[in-house]
Amino acid sequence: MRPPFAYHRPATLAEACGLLAADPRAVAMAGGTDLMVHLRQPWRGRGPSAVVSLRRLDDLQRIDATDDALRLGACVNLSTVIDHPLIQRAYPVLPRAARYMGSPAIRNLATVGGNLCNASPAADLPPVLLVLDAEVGIAGGGAPRRLALAEFFRGPGRSALMPGELLAWIEIPRRAADWVVRYERLDVRRAMDIAIAGAALALRLEGSRVVDARIALCAVAPTPCRVPEAERALIDGRLDEAGIGRAARLARQAARPIDDVRASAPYRMAMVETLVRRGLDEIAHGRRRAA
């Protein structure tokens, strides 16, 4: 039986954007791990008139590194993120987060860009990329656009992409060695489950003093989000019990979760505090062991 939609395999990024611009009901497909679920479950309300495959667009599968930044093409899959030597060495938190996502078979297909474009509040990569100060590049719709990742998420399932636009790349600035980054996640199973709550933390330390800080949450608000109040509470302070507790409480206050089948909103709020405290404790203890 023929599928109830057209299928396109463009050879260039411009052609792909043109197809999407010409048909407002067309959707792009990279790995397809989320789209195929929607196609098999019509009640989700996603019935595209056309699917535009991005598999032939080699530029979207590139990984480019300079002294200033690492750029991931939007179609780089999660297995590549896990196995890439440079990413393992310079950004070990990314493979750690990617391992939470699905089975090996799914990670061989699922892409970094797809994880962002789905705009799920519970996605694992967004909070990690937020604390790494990532930016994204958007193609189509006229002149290319560059956005801070924090500006890309507009609501559950909604991103900053306009009709005819595609996410082309994700760029992460190179960090000095005095930054420490962690990702803490609450789930039922290590993989194959959506996060109940998650917290990513990045600290720049001089001894026990916090020089700079980033904290981002997932699964506890309409979009993945930074927590500037908790960040400010850490900066220029010591990473001690009082500072850790204050930042964890502020993160909890910033959370805006919902009740669903996986957890209640009050439980998620309590777990945000626990995850942030755990991550900061681990960073503090790691520094003490290294000293």
Q: d(Cα 289, Cα 270) in Å, to the nearest integer? A: 29
Of 106, 89, 104, give the one whose Cα is nearest residue 37.
106
CA distances (Å), origin 235, targets 127, 128, 148, 231: 19, 19, 22, 6
pLDDT-above-70 percentage for the chain: 93
Arithmetic mean of pLDDT, 36-45: 64
Q: d(Cα 84, Cα 150) in Å, to the nearest integer? A: 25
Arithmetic mean of pLDDT, 14-30: 95
Q: How confident is the model at residue 199 (pLDDT cuts 50, 70, 90)?
A: very high
pLDDT over threshold 70, residue 20: yes
Residues ≥6 apart with Cβ < 8 Å to 189: none
The enclosing H or E element of 190 equals: none
Domains, the chain: 6-53 (3.30.43.10), 59-173 (3.30.465.10), 179-290 (3.30.390.50)
* Strand intervals (E) in the chain: 6-8, 26-29, 50-53, 63-65, 69-73, 135-139, 145-148, 153-155, 158-159, 166-173, 179-186, 197-206, 209-218, 225-226
Span 249-276, pLDDT tens digits = 999 999 999 999 889 999 999 999 999 9
Under 8 Å between Cβ of 89 and 177: no
On average, the pLDDT of the chain sits at 92
Other CB atoms within 10 A of residue 245 CB: 15
Q: How confident is the model at residue 177 (pLDDT cuts 50, 70, 90)?
A: confident
Q: What is the pLDDT of residue 290?
A: 44
Of 173, 167, 126, 119, give the one whose Cα is nearest residue 144.
167
Span 216-246, pLDDT tens digits = 999 999 999 999 999 999 999 999 999 999 9
Q: d(Cα 165, Cα 118) in Å, to the nearest integer? A: 14
Q: How confident is the model at residue 169 (pLDDT cuts 50, 70, 90)?
A: very high
What is the four-CA torsion angle of 184, 187, 190, 193, rounded to 10 degrees?
A: -130
Q: d(Cα 168, Cα 88) in Å, to the nearest integer? A: 22
Q: d(Cα 121, Cα 272) in Å, to the nearest integer? A: 14
Under 8 Å between Cβ of 169 and 64: no
Arithmetic mean of pLDDT, 48-63: 94
